Structures are given as structure tokens and as C-alpha cells.
Amino acid sequence: MTLKKIVKQVGALGVACSMAIGALSAQAEETIKVGVLHSLSGTMAISETTLKDTMLMLIEEQNKKGGLLGKQLEPVVVDPASNWPLFAERTRELLEQHGVDAIFGCWTSVSRKSVLPVVEELNGILFYPVQYEGEESSRNVFYTGAAPNQQAIPAVDYLKDEVGVERWVLAGTDYVYPRTTNRILEAYLKANGVAEEDIMINYTPFGHADWQNIVAEIKRFGSAGKKTAVVSTINGDANVPFYRELGNQGVSAEDIPVVAFSVGEEELSGIDTAPLVGHMAAWNYFMSEETPENEAFIKAWHDYIGDTKRVTNDPMEAHYIGFNMWVKAVEAAGTTDTDKVIDAMVGVEVPNLTGGVSTMLPNHHITKPVLIGEIQDDGQFLTVSSTEELVPGDAWSDYLEGSKDLISDWTAPISCGNYNTQTKSCVGATAE
């Protein structure tokens, strides 16, 4: 073969390779990829698997409407397996290998904090759908779950003002969300005149199963002649044996009521709720809310999942709100470009499922109602208290010394997550 023929064949091969690569790139660009980052195994699967299914339903519904920007949405599901470092690896995989335009995921704060530096480094977008401890603000994260002022503080106010609670058990799983939330609640209680000896704090590891001694200790603490309540930040499948042991030891809601921040309809579906009637949870949504929006959502969920016994819960609504906000922001921006979508997100309004309209605020939190519900024997909640107006989420607590002067505002001219209102300066990351 002559050198001329070799050169011609090599050139033809190069053209063919270029055409193949171009075809693959075009094919990849035909869809908009959405990352779904929820534990499908391990201790948090009891809560997170349903959120994966929720995202698949929302994506399917959007595709039936014609997709987004003329393209179909393609879910990319990964399983971080309740392994906190693995959340970071799976996030990097979603952004670098799959090229997703947004990620919906995480449950625990430790998983979110594992993901945070990766989405900031790679300039991704994370929608976080679960209540959390605050004390954080990132330009790349939208917090659609409750901040402490949208759940923990109103729950304590209800117990204090309506139930007459004077002694407090702050019981949580041993990681950042319960510890930081309880630090805020302890400061808040002491600021409201509660003595240190009237506050008991207890932490247990993920998946903790033997609650006999702890529940007995709670009973002893509650026998001092003052009305006592448990404020629970226990997470995941540890809730099942905790509530079971309450029933075993006869701890009724009349004696020592429990208000939980991480127990919803999904977690109760695996428990005999008869002994738990009257215990409470604080959320921003209950399945029992009677609104046209909620009725339509429940029907869509049952149709999608093929089981009318499957429940809905608060983090599902947070994904519903966050997903619809993202769709509106992408439509407004006319692109999935991260920076343009982030800018377009602020001010977006979408209906929530309780009959109101939630707004994305400059601090990347949303407005939400606060509901206190009592457990019923059918595993649902009866709302006993709700805020008249939607409550704006605060990124920084008003009750912690290092936070009370801080605000988050990712819009110009502040464009900062840790802006000190006293010094008029940014003490953290800023938008570039």
C-alpha cells in the first residue's frame, strides 16, 4: 500500500470517528439528565426509597407534558447506600460522568455535607428535601425542607404554650442535624427560662435497636412532677424499635408526649400505631391535608406506584415543590446552564400541597406552613396546629451567638451566604 493510500485511509477513519463522536454527543444532548441521589439500601432506605420513586414519578409526568425545553428528561438513579462518603463519590459520578443538570437527593445532613463540596467544586445544583439544622448556606444548594424556625422552634412553642411542658428530653441520632438542632433548642429553652436540670439530652447511633434502658430513663426523668415531653430527632429505621419500646413500657401521649421531626407517614406505615395515638410530629405537610392539590398528588402517586395503600409524606412534597421550581427556572432561563438557572430560581413561586404558594427566597430556602399533627390509629396525622401564614426559612439561627447576626442572600449586591448585618461584610463564600 502506498503512503498516499495510507494517509487517505487514516483520514477517512478520522472522519468516521468524528462523525461517531458527534452522533453520540447529539444523542446525549437529546435529553436533559436529572440526578436522583437517594439511599436505596442501608439504614436510611426506609425513608429515602420513596423519594427516589417520587422523583421518577415527577420526571415521568413532566415528560408526558412534553418534557423541558423541547427535550425529554432522563433520570439517572444512583444508590449511595446510607454510606456518607459514598454520597460524595456518587455526586461526582452524576456530574462528571453522566453530566446531570440538577440533583435531587440526600436525607441526612451528614450526607448533604458530604455532597456539598462536590457540587460547589463542579458547580452543580442540589435540591435538598428534608428538614435540617440550618447554619449553612451554599449558592449551589436549594433547601426545600424546613429550617429550624419552620419546624423545631414552632414545635417547642406548641408544647410549651398549648401542652404546658416544663421538662424536655432532646433525643436524637448521633450526627450533625440532631446535635445542631438540639444546640439551638437548648439555647432557645434557656432563653425562655427553662433550667438546665429540666433539659435531658440523649444521642444514639444510626440503626440503634435496644431502647429499653433509654425509655426507662425518660420515664424516670418525667416523674419529677413537671409536665415532660420528648423532642425527637431520631432518624431512619431506629424509630421503629423506639416507638415500639414506648408502647412496651406504657409511655402514652398523655404521660410524656413525643413530638418527632423525622417521623412521617412512611415511617409509621411499618409500626403498630395503636399505642402511639396522640404522640406528635411537626412537619410542613401531612397526607391528611384536604386540598385539591393534595388530592391530585395522592391520586397521581397511587396511580404511578400501583398501590393505593402507599402513603405520601413531607419530604415528598418538598421534592414536588423543588422539582416544579426547577422546571419553571429552566423555562425562564431558556437553558439548563447552572449559573443562569441559579439566578432564575430566586423569586420562583409554585403551589404547595397544603393550599398555599411557596416562594424561593434569596437565601435559597422557601416559604412553608408549619403543621403540628397527632398520630392517629390509622397511621395518619390529625393537624392540631398550623401557622396562619407561610413562614420564610432562615439559614442562620437567631439563638446561637455566632449566627444571630448572619443572613444569607445570594442576590446582588450582597451575593453571600454568611453576611454579617453588624459589620456589613461577608464572612463566608460569595458568588463569583
Going by C-alpha positions, the residue among 109, 128, 105, 261 that lies closest to residue 177 is 109
C-alpha torsion sign, points 27, 342, 328, 49: positive
pTM, rounded to two decimals: 0.89
Q: Which residues contact 84 (CB under 8 A, 6 or more apart)?
A: 108, 110, 111, 114
The cell numbers describing 344, all together, are: 432564575
Question: Are 203 and 170 in contact, with CB atoms under 8 Å apart?
Answer: no
Question: Is residue 331 predicted with pLDDT exceeding 60?
Answer: yes
Q: Which residues contact 248 (CB under 8 A, 6 or more apart)?
A: 212, 215
Mean pLDDT of 15-34: 58
Residue-wise pLDDT for 74-126, tens only, equals 999 999 999 999 999 999 999 999 999 999 999 999 999 999 999 999 999 99
Phi, psi dihedrals of residue 272, rounded to the nearest 5°: -75, 105
pLDDT at 244: 87
Residue-wise pLDDT for 217-263, tens only, equals 999 999 999 999 999 999 888 888 998 899 899 999 999 999 999 88
Query: Per-residue confidence at 301, pLDDT binned at 50, 70, 90?
Result: very high
Instruction: Name the residue ranges covered by the structural domains of the chain.
Output: 149-283
Question: SS in 3 state form for the chain?
Answer: CCHHHHHHHHHHHHHHHHHHHHHHHHHHCCEEEEEEECCCCCCCHHHHHHHHHHHHHHHHHHHHCCCECCEEEEEEEECCCCCHHHHHHHHHHHHHHCCCCEEEECCCHHHHHHHHHHHHHCCCCEEECCCCCCCCCCCCEEECCCCHHHCHHHHHHHHHHHHCCCEEEEEEECCHHHHHHHHHHHHHHHHCCCCHHHEEEEEECCCCCCCHHHHHHHHHHCCCCCCEEEEEECCHHHHHHHHHHHHHCCCCCCCCCEEECCCCHHHHCCCCCHHHCCCEEEECCCCCCCCHHHHHHHHHHHHHHCCCCCCCCHHHHHHHHHHHHHHHHHHHHCCCCHHHHHHHHCCCEEECCCCCEEEECCCCEEEECCEEEEECCCCCEEEEEECCCCEECCCCCCCCCCCCCEEEECCCCCCEEEEECCCCEECCCECC
Residue-wise pLDDT for 35-58, tens only, equals 999 999 998 998 899 999 999 999
Burial 254-286 (b: 16+ CB within 10 A, else e): eebbbbbbbbbbbbbeebebebbebbbbbbbbb
Going by C-alpha positions, the residue among 35, 279, 24, 249 that lies closest to residue 140 is 35
pLDDT at 269: 85
Question: Is residue 368 predicted with pLDDT exceeding 70?
Answer: yes
> In the CATH scheme, what is the code of domain 149-283?
3.40.50.2300
The cell numbers describing 368, all together, are: 412553608
| Least confident interval from 28-32, 110-114, 201-205, 351-355 | 28-32
Mean pLDDT of 311-315: 96
